[in-house]
Amino acid sequence: MPDGLLFASISAINFVCLIVSLWLGCYIVTRSPRSRVSWLVSATLWSLCGYFLNSLTDIQGPPGEGSLPWWWGWSVAIAVPFWFHLSVSLLSGKLARKQRPLVILVYLLTLNFVAMEAYTPWVFSGATMKPPIYNSAQHPGPLYPLFGLYLIAVPALSLYNLYLSWRQAKSRSIQRQFATLLWATSLAIFSGIYATLSTWLRLDTPTLISNFSLGAGVALLGYGVARYNALIKGRAIGLDFIYTSLAIGLVIGAYLLAAFISDLAFDVPFIAFIFIIMLAIVSHSLYDWARTYLDRFFYRRQYRELRANLRDFAREAVPGHELQEQLRTILETLCRSLDVSKGFIALREGEGFVVTANWQVDFGGQSIASDALATDEIAVLSPPMETLGLTDTPMALIVPLHAGGEQIGVIVLGQRTTGVSYTEDDLDLLEDLADTVASVVHTVRLQKRSVQQIDTLLREVREREQELQGKMREALVAEARPPVLEGQSEREAISLVEDALRHLHDYPYLGEHTLAQLRIIESYLDVQEGVFVTHLDRGKALQEVLTTAIEKLKPPGPQPSPPTREWHQYVILHDCYVLGKLNRDVMSALYISEGTFSRARRRAVRGVTRALAEMETQQKRPA
């Protein structure tokens, strides 16, 4: 392979491995921040991220011997103790306690090797004339064989610990996750052997193979631990993992496009964007996590909890296939623990049951009539019987799943492989397990209903927000409206109306009032031929106009006793001004305070003023 193509390939591999290790570390620790396993695997991934950063900057950086200090990235040795500590943490309690002194020893060895690598020529004695894309780019020092042995032996111990954990796992699903971790560790060991021998023997082998193998191990390690944590906690991970990875991929793609354009237009080297891209990954990965803590400064406790619960609900809602996976894991663990030959879990769907999870039988998704499996208590079938609708499948035990006062499913088990009948202890265990499974199924179904309820609630909230915004716009428009009455501001017009209402029965006063000059008054004058129109007639017409405007405040239907809130404005103006009652008597009749009375009266007077303005506007329109 030409050096140019090899250079580009190794740079791309290092960049991808850098991104994957950094993002997976952030993803795992944000999903399970209180898990020691999460922090150990994240420390491992971030340490390897530093190694890939060191390799990438060494390749992309300025040429020349010693051009990059050792701390530009850091040694791959830093990831080794975290990986080993992780493997010990996954062991059972007794085995883990035995290896605690060994964990401390590995950490101390790592500190010694890193110090020697940084400050002495004992591990690496200097750089060669070879480009950094080859393993022979550095001279091995006198202690390099010990360093190489350390890079191989400690991961090999990690592999052994993971193998022990794999053997101890009772669930096939948990075993699959440990198998993933075994493959990840095996790839890391292969990478260590390849790189160590190539450097020690000064072979011109490309770093592409070792870095690619280590990067594949990083991806498997991160995904395996994420799946393991999800299984232990009973969480769904599939959709969240895919969604988050695609979102980060889009962000990285945008930054890569910016880097490409900058390189073409301004000759900005790609290496200048590495730390910006890393910062973007960290900031986007920690966004939800940081927002949870920022909520403490801006929201009260009940709203903080609501926002956090909604975010968790949106991320951890269990889709149908995730529920099937959980039920399959539960059934498999149960059958292995009790030495059951076969079994299945069926959930009620409509008028029958549908097989959702099965073990050693092949009829997943098949429907069964409800009569065949309906039972209120554990039913021991002696002798074993064939389940209705499933031929050649003799079953020995039916365990009902109840939730919400109804049977939502069943666990059906076959005979035990040992030939021994189910004991009372087995039945007690199955009853407890049935309650747990029923709770899981019921919770998932409640999630589906909750999604619909939350969606409906959010739509109602948005509609109310739009309605409120509309009212606010109307209020703003009202502030910017032209004068309510010609030649008068709104405040002046309200003052005129209030003054006229106080003298509602004083015709001479009303006849000389400013409002008596409104054109609407002309339509209320009883003008007859030969009859003079005086200011008293205008006063009577203004009284009629004001009374008509007050009547427009009256709600439909008969007036209740005592008047309800929608009647307050009408009753206040009508009783105080038309009937001439005292304010205190009206307040007593409405059972309201003086402050409430004053506010309602002001709103009512403002409404009458607007009504007069609208009547005046309509009067001015040409016929």
| Side chain identity at residue 54, one-letter code | N
Q: Of 306, 532, 343, nearest to 426 (Cα)?
A: 343
The whole-number pLDDT of residue 18 equals 94
Statement to judge: residues 60 and 166 lie in one domain? yes
> Is residue 216 assigned to a domain?
yes
The whole-number pLDDT of residue 299 equals 63
> Is residue 241 assigned to a domain?
no
| DSSP for 45-71, written as a single string | HHHHHHHHHHHHHHHHS--STT-S-GG
Tell me how far apart the alpha carbons of residues 20 and 32 are, in angstroms, rounded to a whole number.
18
Contact 135, 207 (CB under 8 A): yes
Domain end (from 178, 205, 235): 235
> Is residue 19 assigned to a domain?
yes
Domain end (from 235, 266, 290): 235
The whole-number pLDDT of residue 191 equals 95
The whole-number pLDDT of residue 68 equals 46
> Is residue 471 assigned to a domain?
no
Tell me how far apart the alpha carbons of residues 306 and 312 are, in angstroms, rounded to a whole number.
10
Show the tokens assigned to 445: 């179904």
Q: Of 14, 24, 75, nearest to 45 (Cα)?
A: 24
Statement to judge: residues 503 and 381 lie in one domain? no
Radius of gyration in angstroms for the set of CA atoms belonging to the chain, rounded to a whole number: 40
Tell me how far apart the alpha carbons of residues 121 and 143 are, in angstroms, rounded to a whole number.
9
Statement to judge: residues 112 and 15 lie in one domain? yes
> Is residue 475 assigned to a domain?
no
Statement to judge: residues 508 and 562 lie in one domain? yes
Show the tokens assigned to 261: 């354009």
Statement to judge: residues 12 and 146 lie in one domain? yes
> Is residue 496 assigned to a domain?
yes
Contact 182, 169 (CB under 8 A): no
Q: Of 143, 109, 104, 145, nearest to 123 (Cα)?
A: 143
Domain housing 343: 320-448
The whole-number pLDDT of residue 485 equals 65
Q: Of 343, 42, 336, nearest to 169 (Cα)?
A: 336
Tell me how far apart the alpha carbons of residues 503 and 74 are, in angstroms, rounded to a whole number.
91
Statement to judge: residues 507 and 592 lie in one domain? yes
Give Cα 349 distance to the centre of its chain: 29
Q: Of 444, 447, 234, 226, nearest to 356 (Cα)?
A: 444
Contact 490, 484 (CB under 8 A): yes
Statement to judge: residues 517 and 442 lie in one domain? no
Statement to judge: residues 372 and 440 lie in one domain? yes
Q: What is the CATH number of the domain that holds 326?
A: 3.30.450.40
Statement to judge: residues 438 and 501 lie in one domain? no
Statement to judge: residues 353 and 425 lie in one domain? yes
Show the tokens assigned to 531: 């009859």
Could you identify the residue written with the tokens 């894309």? 133
> Is residue 221 assigned to a domain?
yes
Tell me how far apart the alpha carbons of residues 505 and 494 are, in angstroms, rounded to a whole number.
19
**C-alpha distances in Å from residue 609, one per residue of 121, 179, 182, 185:** 94, 81, 83, 83
Statement to judge: residues 541 and 597 lie in one domain? yes
In 3-state terms, the chain is what percent helix, strand and coil (to 5)?
A: 70, 10, 20
> Is residue 596 assigned to a domain?
yes
Q: What is the CATH number of the domain that holds 135?
A: 1.20.1070
State phi, psi for 478 to the nearest 5 degrees.
-60, -35
Residue numbers in the chain where pLDDT is lower than 50: 63-73, 317-318, 320, 388-389, 391, 480-483, 623
| DSSP for 216-280, written as a single string | HHHHHHHHHHHHHHHHHHT---HHHHHHHHHHHHHHHHHHHHHHHHHHHHH---GGGGHHHHHHH
- How many domains, the chain? 3
Whether the pTM exceeds 0.85: the reply is no
Statement to judge: residues 191 and 140 lie in one domain? yes
Domain end (from 448, 475, 500): 448
